[in-house]
Amino acid sequence: MVSIKDIAKRAGVSISTVSYALNGNDKVTKETAAKILQAAEELNYVPHAAARLLKTKKSNMIGIFLTDFEGNFYGNLLQGVKEYVSSKGYDLLVCSGPQSRRLISERMIDGAIILDATFSDEELLQYANNGHKAVVLDRELQHPHINQVLLDNKAGATLAIEHLIEQGHDNIYAVSGPAGSYDALQRLRAVHQAIERVPGLTFTVLPGDFTKSSGEAAAQRIAAEYTRPAAVFCLNDEMAIGVYRYIRTHTDLVIGKHIHLVGFDNTELAQFIEPRLTTIDYSMPKWGALASEQLIKMLGGEPVENERIYVTLVQGASVTAATGT
Amino acid sequence: MVSIKDIAKRAGVSISTVSYALNGNDKVTKETAAKILQAAEELNYVPHAAARLLKTKKSNMIGIFLTDFEGNFYGNLLQGVKEYVSSKGYDLLVCSGPQSRRLISERMIDGAIILDATFSDEELLQYANNGHKAVVLDRELQHPHINQVLLDNKAGATLAIEHLIEQGHDNIYAVSGPAGSYDALQRLRAVHQAIERVPGLTFTVLPGDFTKSSGEAAAQRIAAEYTRPAAVFCLNDEMAIGVYRYIRTHTDLVIGKHIHLVGFDNTELAQFIEPRLTTIDYSMPKWGALASEQLIKMLGGEPVENERIYVTLVQGASVTAATGT
DNA sequence: TTGTAGGCGTTATCAC
DNA sequence: GTGATAACGCCTACAA
């Protein structure tokens, strides 16, 4: 592998001159610089990132940590992150799994974006204490080196429940999320608040874990005890899809008539399914872009405030007005 | 940041002894090793990856390069790769965009998996000539440092067309893929071969680029010239979804009756859409796992052969038998 | 303007 | 068994 030493030899100068020339330092004359650049070109020199990192302590890479690679849930988020960070001269590494965390502690990346419930708060705080910067998308964590960019789960869940109530529904189910999920917890809490505001509702919480199959299980339960139209708020679209699948294949009930359904995330599938799923929408790319903006500001030592991503309700035919009582 | 030097000082030994102890070399006595490990623990030492890499020339990271992060097309592939490589002690970095290529040339990763048409063959060969190992999923490239794991596009496209013909269709369209795509080229070539084998078919190729909107454009064209049932083979599911969307929202034609549709990839959406899309299926995780297996073998200096991923036809109601002539 | 030298955190080769 | 010491490739005062 060719190093600056080789190119120094070929250009007949010292390695420091090469380094200067390569980094565009104007201490070196145009002629020698040209000579050096040419030599570098001829040898097709590429710098060794590790060596530079060792010295400069800056990798110009940022990492985003996801629970897994499944679903196209994250595609737009990643796109948002990538575009922003590369406009700032950073590279993006997408990471998943416990092993890849060494990228943080071993200083391969300059900062991290976390959307991965398998990180514990303690672990993250530990990294922060060791000087690593991060922005978290899935929890609240107070630390000078940690910034938050969170979904407005409360608003979303409230919109969902209020929409069902406005449509005249009074037999309401919520399908919850996995135990460790911050988003699920926030949403469920808001659901309870919205429900309690209106007297006379029948309300049931069914367990769920954000997977299709848990949606199916919930649908089975709902179908089994069906006596009158039910309104179901699944805490994410994935589970709502599970409900669709079960209701359609195992019952004679009809979504949008007997079962009224609301999801959360506005995934691609939600838009294509028939009838279209009523759900909570927000901008994934914006979420990603904002998160990376915050992170890069932190890396530059700028002060940042915690941010929030706003949500809206998109209506589909999966919810219609209740007919009489 | 604490380095082995610090821990050497605290344990009252030399840095080389520390290094030995940390790497589990049995040249050092149990007692000193224990003392050193404890000191490292107390200082909560973490090794600096860049320094190690500089010395050992092994990062234990492999990179997979994708054109973009969109769609959940790659989720299962990535899962397959990740599981395999982490079982072998490697980390996976998911990369996209021109900038991230420096990970290869700057030796941050030990090897690369390429599924990104924006890499040119020349560029890849250049990397290979510089000693970098790669397995390619989207082209044929002969080089001792490059291995191929390709889809059996020919079989897939042939299955698709033959299925349409068997169902009695004789008015056949193919919606092609983007210009640079190896997969698209292979599929289209096989389509032509299958078509030519049967005399008396009406056959039209429509331009496409693997996006939904190009599918919609094709559907528009097909609907405009509609006189009798048409059988359409979209070279991927994404475009087939576009066809659905256009046909459903802009025409009175019915998929599975007037328009018979086949896709390629068996994406999640294809399974949920009504009527279910007939498409070509293959195992994404297996593709990923096989690719990484080949790569890791290459890294270990083992010889490898090019591999192929087999495909099958899955039938949905988007294609039914032609009714009379 | 250019060269010398030291150091970044490791590993590895020697002596002791 | 343990400890100096020289790399690895690059950057950067400081000297010349």
**pLDDT (tens digit, 9 = 90+) per residue, A216-268?**
999 999 999 999 999 999 999 999 999 999 999 999 999 999 999 999 999 98
What are the residues whose beta carbons fall under 8 Å from the beta carbon of B176, sequence distance 6 or more?
A: B184, B188, B205, B206, B207, B208, B235
Q: How far is B31 from chain A (nearest CA, A)?
A: 27
CA distances from B147 to A63, B155, B187 (A): 28, 21, 21
At residue B295, the pLDDT reads 98
At residue A323, the pLDDT reads 83
B54 CA, D7 C1': separation in Å? 10
Residues with CB under 7 A from strand C: A 12-17, 20, 27-29, 31-33, 51, 54-55; B 1, 3-5, 15-16, 19, 22-23, 45-48, 51-52, 54-56
Domains and CATH numbers, chain A: 4-47 (1.10.260.40), 61-151+284-310 (3.40.50.2300), 153-282 (3.40.50.2300)
- Per-residue pLDDT 10s for chain B (325 aa) are 899 999 999 999 999 999 999 998 888 899 999 999 999 999 999 999 999 999 999 999 999 999 988 766 688 999 999 999 999 999 999 999 988 999 999 999 999 999 999 999 999 999 999 999 999 999 999 999 999 999 999 999 999 999 999 999 999 999 999 998 999 999 999 999 999 999 999 999 999 999 999 999 999 999 999 999 999 999 999 999 999 999 999 999 999 999 999 999 999 889 888 899 999 999 999 999 999 999 999 999 999 999 999 999 999 999 999 986 4
Q: Which positions in strand C are less than 7 Å from the protein's CB atoms?
A: 1-5, 7-13
Q: Judge whether B56 is closer than 8 Å to chain A, CB to CB.
A: no
Question: Which of A51, A78, A103 has the CB atom closest to B54's CB atom?
Answer: A51
Q: What is the pTM of this model?
A: 0.93
Under a CB-based contact definition with an 8 Å cutoff, are residues A109 and A62 in contact? yes
At residue A27, the pLDDT reads 86
Q: Report if CB A3 to strand D is under 7 Å.
A: yes
At residue A74, the pLDDT reads 83
* CA B268-B273-B279 angle, 5° bins: 65
Under a CB-based contact definition with an 8 Å cutoff, are residues B290 and B307 in contact? yes
Per-window interface: B 267-286 vs A, CB < 8 A: 268-269, 272-274
**DSSP assignment string, B130-189:** TT-EEEESSS---BTTEEEEEE-HHHHHHHHHHHHHHTT--EEEEE---TT-HHHHHHHH
d(CA B123, CA B135): 14
At residue B71, the pLDDT reads 63
Bridge partner list, A278:
A262
Under a CB-based contact definition with an 8 Å cutoff, are residues B232 and B203 in contact? no
- Averaged over successive runs of 10 residues, the pLDDT of chain A (325 residues) comes to 91 93 90 92 93 94 91 83 95 92 94 95 95 96 97 98 97 96 97 97 97 97 97 97 95 96 93 92 97 97 95 97 76
